[in-house]
Amino acid sequence: MEYRIVCIPGDGIGPEIVAEAVKVLQKVGEVFGHSFAFEDILMGGCSLDVHGVPLTDEALAKAQAADAVLLGAVGGNVGTSRWYQVAPNLRPEAALLRIRKEMGLFANIRPASLYPELASACPLKAEAAERGFDLVMMRELTGGVYFGEHSTSEENGERVAKDVMTYSETEIRRIAVKAFEIARKRRGKVTSVDKANVLDTSRLWRKVVEDVAKDYPDVTLEHMLVDNCAMQLVRDPAQFDVILTENMFGDILSDEASMVTGSIGMLPSASLGAGKSGLYEPIHGSAPDIAGKGIANPLATILSAAMLLRYSLDLDAEADAVERAVKEMLAEGFRTADIAAGAVPVGTEEMGRLVRERIRR
Ligand code: NAD
């Protein structure tokens, strides 16, 4: 069987890091006997230059038809790039919102794990850093207050602003199912995060999540209030396996979880919808300050490709092989400049080669 993967190299360091992830997937294909067909589409500033829009309908249709989509990053220097002298709906980042919406991606998954070899980059207290952690943040992506009604009006002689937060049972159920499915592939624990002491949406969230949990007796469910979770993430992140939460809480908590790892160039992400396909991308941006220098860290994109293997193609052993190769290479002391901390850094292509060489059954 041939897997069809659409690649979106994008802007800045995007083409450099996606090239390395593609070579890693090709190596996985050789070692495990799979065939991948890759097709590139333009998105972001590069598409704006050629087509006058950041994503064409034709490119979008290709992404929608693929088994999975691998994205580098889009966007340029917001202060100086010509890509920002256009209407907001034509900016490079508008394409990101469009592709997520049109692909129906409602679940954003961000693993945050601390590699023992990079513990010195972790801003936590030594005990917490030494213990390490390996958690997944699952954020609802298309509902909640960000997508509710927004208004500002005059009431009783002053300005009043409103943002409405809405969640339906269907929206909660479909992401809860994803969280339990993923917990099953990991250590079997879901922490559902809400503000059920104050919000009706949270009280419904809790009820629906408890209902879904009945179908997963092998997974442990706990509830945690969002303010406590923010604190626990810096006190003892090792207690978490899968954190399940709504859009705005997830927006804030996923950034917090990323920062406690201390290395932005290492963190992958996946956005999933109802089917098997998904969009896989590093959490960092297009890093225009280092684009074209051959020094960008490709590991977040390579680890995103590992998530693609696991979640869209159900190739778990292959995903494990990529993640193991990354760990081995770090344990041997190889680092790109962003995580070098005194070591002699290797470049983007070299880092990709070092990972490929360590991929085996
Ligand atoms: P950024 O993540 O691109 O860069 C922040 C800092 O981290 C920079 O110093 C950069 O050099 C460094 N960095 C990021 N990734 C790295 C890597 N792989 N290896 C080594 N160093 C790395 O964030 P920014 O500077 O705020 O944004 C730059 C552009 O990226 C903007 O146009 C922004 O809108 C866009 N952006 C795109 C996405 C996306 O495509 N999903 C996400 C975030 C930002």
CATH at 66: 3.40.718.10
Q: Are residues 86 and 206 in the same domain?
A: no
As given in the structure block, the two tokens for residue 30 are: 């050789």
Residue 117, pLDDT score: 81
Same domain, 210 and 281: no
> What average pLDDT does the structure give for the chain?
95
Domain boundary among 260, 276, 305: 260
- Give the residue from 260, 285, 309 where a domain finishes: 260
Residues whose CB is less than 8 angstroms from the CB of residue 328 and which lie 6 or more positions away in sequence, other chains included: 358
Whether residue 291 sits in one domain with residue 175? no
Q: What is the pLDDT of residue 31?
A: 98
Q: How far apart are CA 259 and CA 257, in angstroms?
A: 6
Say yes or no: 16 and 4 in one domain: yes
278, 238: one domain:
no
**Same structural domain for residues 241 and 343?**
no
Is the CA virtual torsion 257, 260, 261, 266 positive or negative?
Answer: positive
Give me the pLDDT at residue 305, please: 98
Category of 156 on φ-ψ map: left (φ > 0), alpha (ψ -120 to 50) or beta: left
- Domain shared by 138 and 104, yes or no: no
One-letter amino acid at 35 equals S
Number of domains in the chain: 2
211 in the same domain as 294: no
Residues 239 and 129 in one domain: yes
135: region left, alpha or beta (phi > 0 left; psi from -120 to 50 alpha) = beta
Nearest to 62 by CA among 16, 25, 104, 7: 7
Q: pLDDT digit string (tens) for 164-201?
A: 999 999 999 999 999 999 999 899 999 999 999 999 99
Is residue 251 annotated as a catalytic residue, yes or no?
yes
Tokens 């705005």 belong to 248
**140 and 30 in one domain?**
no
Determine the pLDDT at residue 259. Answer: 86
Determine which one of 163, 195, 236, 327 is catalytic. 195
Distance (Å, rounded) from C-alpha 183 to C-alpha 177? Answer: 10
How many residues can be counted in the chain?
A: 361
249 and 288: one domain? Answer: no
Q: What is the pLDDT of residues 139-159, one digit of tens each?
A: 999 999 988 898 999 999 999
Which residue, 249, 293, 241, 294, is CA-closest to 111?
241
Cβ 75 under 6 angstroms from ligand 1: yes
The parts of the chain modelled with pLDDT lower than 70 are none
Would you call 338 a catalytic residue per the annotation? Answer: no
Give pLDDT, residue 129. Answer: 84
Q: Is there a catalytic annotation at residue 236?
A: no
**Mutational pocket test of ligand 1: of 108, 286, 304, 335, the residue with most ligand atoms within 8 Å of the beta carbon:** 286
My answer on whether 7 and 99 are in the same domain is yes
Write down which residue in 215, 245, 260 finishes a domain. 260
Residue 288 CA to ligand 1 center (angstroms) comes to: 7
Beta bridge partners of 304: none
The pLDDT assigned to 196 comes to: 98
For residue 34, the enclosing domain spans 1-115+262-361
